[in-house]
């Protein structure tokens, strides 16, 4: 995402706080919900001032984007992406991709297409890595873990994924039931965590929002990668403490002197989706594990402290387990006939645009498939299309579309309710708008014209923190989330809303690439000014909140920036030596 502008002076320099990953929280849900809502209000950007952040940035002292666990044995993963020609269109057709057997090779492809590096970039003396998973400011607070059992050529236990080396670090070794591979069917689970400081270093108090958006992006990246393998992804809705235990994040001694990680989510990879979900107690896996590795420190000299991030993290943790949801049927999706690019190549080409060609246009017939991809259900099927089969929570994030230059769709403001029952609630909140159904839209895209505004580009530039990326795009999306009653009794749903918005962003990233365009997430916008533009200021303003902006257009490529391959085999081998 483009960076936030400099902010006003804030808290004095101090050491970064290090709350324990196993810390509890006090207060009833209502009190915790109040903490969450107060955080969201406090971290809004406003036209007269930005949310609290650092006064200055020393890019030479940027936190290390790559965590390692010293003393944990590392296993290099294969990089089979170049040889995988599974068409992009086939991963959306149920049963079209035969499931691959879990192996070191298939795990290598899973991570190569989800959390791995996609390229190195260089401009003058500056060199930086890009990843398949997007991140605010390219800071990458998300860490990924793999729990395995019965996979050939991989140790049973918990592994930390090291993206720079494309390797697995064995954090906990567990014993196979009879000491042999094949005694039980393989199981694979992927866990996600956040290192808040990676975002807070640049974005200050607003960083918690961006970490949750990034988790949503990561969920999408995992789902698309699994689809290339013919696998499904099933959420494991455990409580915070259980996920922290499974990922080793509650082991304070392993993080001495290093930044702690916040446990976020856990997913099982289903390579045989017709098999019933296991009822095994996952915590029993690691009860007698042999642990290894100590976390590296990512910032030796943090200059600021943002205690409000710790407060909202504590207040928004999920306490209890929920039942594992059934796998939703995967619904077919119809794509344009010219989308047979290799899925692996398209996924690794995903980039965040830095500039758009303001003259570029898009035909409405090319726009409708992009809009349809945002819908979590199809008209003619009871299931959900990729990647929405992974999302089992209620749909509470809806799209406000601002087309600038789409032939066949007049410039203006449009609303796309992503769930049928939300239409009435949104209409009640915005009665002053036109609500004209766009007849040219296909049935699966229930798009409503709210207002015709042919000169909206300048306004969107202003509302997107004065960034040209909002004005020069072909179209912009503002994602509107329903905060009440979702958060009132279940404050952990705050994370859920932001993750849903991030998942929408991941869909837009890849749909833009498939259409020959490019997207970029915009985390910097003036929250309440966007609400005022939509007419939400008095409904009350806290019920509906804009949680993310996204723009899509034709990118302008800077010829001064060179691109290099993501991995050098010799460097990978050197980096994994003890």
pLDDT value of position 166: 97
Write the DSSP symbol of residue 161: E
Cα dihedral sign for 132, 136, 140, 142?
negative
As a whole number of angstroms, the distance between CA 390 and CA 504 comes to 12
Confidence of residue 569 (pLDDT cuts 50, 70, 90): low
Phi and psi at residue 233, in whole multiples of 5°? Answer: -125, 125
Q: Is the pLDDT score of 22 beyond 70? A: no
Q: Is the pLDDT of residue 92 over 60?
A: yes
pLDDT at 259 over 60: yes
pLDDT tens readout for residues 194-245: 999 999 999 999 999 999 999 999 999 999 999 999 999 999 999 999 999 9
Q: Is the pLDDT of residue 440 over 60?
A: yes
Quickly state the pLDDT bin for 61 (edges 50, 70, 90): confident
Region for 530 from its dihedrals, namely left if φ exceeds 0, alpha if ψ lies in -120 to 50, beta otherwise? alpha
Handedness of CA 551, 554, 557, 563 (dihedral sign): positive
For the chain, how big is the Rg over CA atoms in Å?
A: 23
Instruction: Give percent above pLDDT 70 in the chain.
Output: 91
The vertex-314 CA angle with 313 and 319, nearest 5°, equals 115
The string of pLDDT tens digits covering residues 305-319 is: 999 999 999 999 999
Give the model's pLDDT for residue 223.
98
User: Cβ distance 209 to 497 under 8 Å?
Assistant: no
For the stretch 385-412, pLDDT in tens is: 999 999 999 999 999 999 999 999 999 9
Q: Could you give the angle at which helices 493-514 and 207-228 cross, rounded to 10 degrees?
A: 50
CA dihedral 395, 479, 335, 100 (to 10 degrees): -60
Q: What pLDDT, on a 0 to 100 scale, did the predictor assign at position 13?
A: 31
3-class DSSP state of 15: coil
pLDDT band with cut points at 50, 70 and 90 for residue 23: very low
Mean pLDDT, the chain, whole residue set = 90
Would you list the DSSP string of 76-141? EPP--GGG---BGGGGGSTT-SPPPPPBHHHHHHHHHTTTSEEEEEEETTEEEEEESS--GGG---
With 0-12 / 13-18 / 19 or more C-beta atoms within 10 angstroms meaning exposed / middle / buried, residue 50 is: buried
- Within 8 A by CB and 6+ apart from 574, the residues are none
pLDDT in tens, 472-527: 999 999 999 999 999 998 999 999 999 999 999 999 999 999 999 999 999 999 99
Chain Cα centroid distance, residue 571: 29
Contact residues for 102 (Cβ-Cβ < 8 A; gap 6+) = 150, 151, 186, 188, 269, 271
Interval 431-438 mean pLDDT: 92
What's the pLDDT at 24? 44
Lookup result for tokens 């809009």: 371
């Amino acid at each position: 995402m483009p960076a936030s502008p400099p902010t006003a002076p804030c808290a004095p320099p101090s050491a970064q706080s290090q709350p324990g990953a196993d810390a509890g929280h006090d207060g009833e849900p209502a009190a915790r919900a109040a903490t969450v809502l107060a955080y969201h209000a406090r971290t809004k950007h406003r036209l007269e001032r930005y949310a609290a952040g650092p006064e200055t940035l020393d890019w030479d002292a940027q936190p290390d984007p790559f965590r390692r666990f010293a003393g944990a044995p590392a296993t290099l993963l294969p990089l089979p992406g170049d040889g995988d020609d599974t068409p992009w269109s086939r991963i959306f057709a149920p049963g079209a991709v035969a499931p691959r057997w879990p192996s070191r090779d298939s795990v290598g492809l899973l991570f190569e297409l989800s959390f791995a590096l996609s390229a190195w970039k260089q401009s003058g003396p500056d060199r930086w890595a890009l990843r398949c998973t997007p991140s605010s400011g390219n800071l990458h607070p998300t860490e990924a873990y793999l729990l395995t059992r019965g996979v050939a050529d991989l140790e049973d236990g918990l592994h930390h994924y090291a993206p720079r080396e494309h390797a697995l670090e064995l954090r906990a070794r567990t014993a196979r039931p009879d000491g042999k591979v094949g005694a039980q069917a393989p199981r694979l689970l992927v866990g996600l965590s956040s290192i808040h400081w990676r975002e807070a270093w640049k974005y200050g108090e607003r960083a918690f929002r961006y970490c949750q958006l990034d988790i949503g992006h990561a969920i999408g990246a995992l789902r698309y990668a699994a689809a290339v393998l013919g696998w499904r992804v099933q959420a494991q809705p455990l409580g915070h403490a259980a996920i922290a235990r499974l990922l080793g994040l509650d082991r304070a001694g392993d993080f001495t002197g290093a930044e702690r990680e916040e446990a976020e989510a856990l997913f099982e990879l289903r390579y045989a989706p017709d098999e019933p979900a296991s009822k095994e107690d996952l915590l029993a896996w690691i009860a007698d594990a042999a642990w290894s590795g100590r976390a590296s420190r990512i910032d030796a000299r943090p200059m600021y402290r943002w205690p409000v991030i710790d407060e909202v993290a504590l207040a928004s943790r999920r306490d209890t387990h929920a039942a594992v949801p059934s796998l939703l049927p995967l619904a077919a999706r119809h794509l344009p006939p010219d989308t047979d690019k290799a899925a692996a190549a398209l996924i690794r080409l995903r980039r965040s645009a830095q500039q758009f060609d303001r003259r570029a246009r898009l035909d409405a017939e090319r726009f409708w498939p992009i809009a349809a991809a945002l819908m979590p259900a199809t008209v003619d099927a009871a299931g959900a299309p990729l990647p929405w089969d992974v999302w089992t929570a209620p749909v509470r994030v809806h799209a406000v579309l601002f087309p600038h230059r789409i032939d066949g769709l007049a410039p203006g403001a449009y609303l796309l309710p992503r769930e049928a029952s939300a239409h009435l609630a949104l209409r009640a909140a915005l009665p002053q708008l036109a609500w004209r159904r766009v007849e040219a839209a296909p049935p699966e895209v229930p798009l409503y014209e709210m207002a015709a505004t042919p000169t909206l580009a300048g306004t969107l530039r202003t509302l997107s923190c004065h960034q040209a990326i909002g004005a020069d795009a072909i179209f912009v999306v503002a994602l509107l989330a329903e905060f009440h009653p979702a958060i009132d009794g279940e404050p952990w749903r705050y994370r859920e809303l932001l993750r849903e918005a991030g998942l929408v962003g991941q869909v837009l990233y890849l749909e833009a690439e498939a259409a020959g365009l490019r997207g970029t997430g915009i985390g910097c916008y003036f929250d309440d000014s966007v609400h005022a533009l939509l007419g939400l200021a008095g409904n009350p303003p806290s019920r509906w909140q804009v949680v993310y902006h996204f723009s899509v257009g034709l990118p302008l490529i800077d010829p001064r920036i060179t691109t290099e391959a993501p991995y050098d085999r010799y460097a990978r081998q050197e980096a994994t030596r003890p």
